[in-house]
């Protein structure tokens, strides 16, 4: 199923991108049919291991190194339910950074939320503790993830801020992360640039499936009926269209006021854990986060989650590098390395 979904996603993306004039359909389709190339694979030593209970795949360069290497731990996207990471990303990172762990956290629905977040914390903690045995400098490890993997990367960094028994994470790289489920009426949600599989409805439905809830709750959630007014007031300082820069909300219209439905709130309570909505973390946590690189895409319903988190980090004096890909859409990472979408690789300077 994952590979079918991925192929459909790619094909759909190809059609859509072609119709938007982003790039030529045949070029994209050719890449898809060619599959992902295994360039440089022989230069890597790949090992499947377990960090605690969590399966991980480790990529180590075969060539010897005089000094300890930098390391990356990566959490793939796929709504916590499917997916694995793009081979191109692995190659790119491995090639640049040299040592690399991909955490294959256990998926929902077989493993109930928050197993995925806990697995990511376990894998990261283990890697920070044992880095030297892989030739990695424990003080130069970054945590990285795309989409739902970006959520896991964010919450992992938040959960580890106060830990003094393990080395500090050097930086976090968040690629179009999902970061909050309070407000689905932000400008980028309204824009609903549903390139790929990621329309607003589909996203909310995925969230509900991930939590093993019924998709019929979607309408109420989209309307905002899952949030009591007191909660909206409490968090408007962090999640509100007023916090989005003008240039990103040209066609934005404030939504109709929602009528609160307590049963829906009760059903969706997990959505307000900071693990699930890391934008709700207190300043005491956010202010201690490592250097951050956030990547947002213009054609992405999650664009504003990234913009809001960027603002929160900056307001808390965390060093943030921000890359906004004007022609990018959700899932654009799949095309990394094909030369059409070249990726701003300056995040590597964070290391």
The site for ligand NAG (CB under 6 A) is made up of: 158-159, 161-162, 192, 194, 199-201, 282, 284-285
CB of residue 110 to ligand NAG, shortest distance in Å: 28
Nearest distance, CB of residue 162 and ligand NAG, angstroms: 4
Instruction: Please state the three-class secondary structure of 162-189 as a single string.
Output: CCCCCCCCCEEEEECCCCCCCCCCCHHH
The one catalytic residue in 147, 188, 194, 277 is 147
With respect to ligand NAG, which residue has the nearer C-beta, 192 or 263?
192
Q: Least distance to ligand NAG from the beta carbon of 343, Å?
A: 26
**Catalytic annotation on 17?**
no
**Options 119, 146, 291, 300, the catalytic residue:** 300
Residue 26 CB-density burial (10 A; 0-12 exposed, 13-18 middle, 19+ buried) = exposed
- Is residue 297 classed as helix, strand or coil in its secondary structure? strand
* Residue whose token pair is 């996603």: 9
With residue 305 as reference, give the H or E element that holds it: helix 303-315
Could you confirm whether 42 is annotated as catalytic?
no
- Which residue lies nearer to ligand NAG by CB, 60 or 205? 205
Give yes or no: 189 in active site: no
Least Å distance between CB 224 and ligand NAG?
13
At residue 58, φ and ψ (nearest 5 deg) are -110, 135
Going by C-alpha positions, the residue among 34, 92, 41 that lies closest to residue 336 is 92
Is the separation of the CB atoms in 76 and 89 below 8 Å?
no
Please give the residue whose beta carbon sits closest to ligand NAG in the complex.
284
Our CA angle for 289, 224, 227, nearest 5°, is 65
Catalytic positions, please?
147, 300, 330
């Amino acid at each position: 199923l994952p590979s079918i979904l991925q192929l459909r996603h790619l094909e759909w993306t190809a059609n859509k991108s072609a119709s938007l004039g982003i790039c030529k359909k045949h070029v994209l389709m050719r890449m898809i049919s060619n599959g992902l190339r295994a360039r440089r694979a022989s230069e890597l030593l790949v090992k499947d291991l377990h960090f605690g209970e969590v399966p991980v795949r480790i990529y180590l360069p075969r060539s010897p190194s005089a000094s300890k290497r930098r390391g990356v731990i990566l959490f793939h996207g796929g709504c916590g339910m499917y997916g694995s990471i793009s081979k191109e990303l692995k190659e790119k990172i491995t090639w640049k950074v040299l040592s690399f762990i991909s955490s294959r956290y256990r998926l929902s629905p077989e493993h109930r939320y928050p197993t995925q977040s806990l697995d990511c914390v376990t894998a990261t903690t283990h890697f920070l503790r044992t880095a030297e045995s892989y030739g990695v400098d424990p003080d130069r490890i970054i945590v990285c993830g795309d989409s739902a993997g970006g959520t896991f990367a964010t919450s992992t960094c938040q959960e580890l801020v106060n830990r003094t028994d393990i080395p500090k994470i050097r930086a976090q790289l968040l690629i179009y992360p999902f970061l909050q489920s309070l407000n689905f009426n932000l400008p980028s949600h309204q824009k609903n640039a549903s390139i790929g599989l990621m329309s607003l409805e589909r996203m909310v439905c995925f969230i509900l499936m991930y939590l093993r809830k019924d998709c019929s709750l979607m309408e109420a959630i989209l309307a905002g009926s899952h949030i009591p007014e007191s909660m909206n007031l409490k968090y408007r300082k962090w999640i509100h269209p007023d916090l989005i820069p003008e240039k990103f909300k040209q066609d934005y219209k404030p939504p109709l006021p929602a009528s609160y439905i307590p049963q829906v709130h009760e059903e969706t309570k997990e959505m307000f854990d900071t693990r699930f909505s890391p934008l709700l973390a207190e300043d005491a946590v956010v202010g201690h986060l490592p250097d951050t690189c956030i990547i947002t895409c213009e054609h992405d319903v999650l664009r504003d989650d990234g913009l809001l988190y960027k603002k929160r980090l900056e307001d808390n004096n965390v060093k943030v590098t921000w890359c906004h890909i004007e022609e990018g859409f959700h899932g654009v990472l799949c095309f990394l390395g094909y030369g059409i979408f070249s990726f701003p690789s300056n995040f590597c300077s964070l290391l």
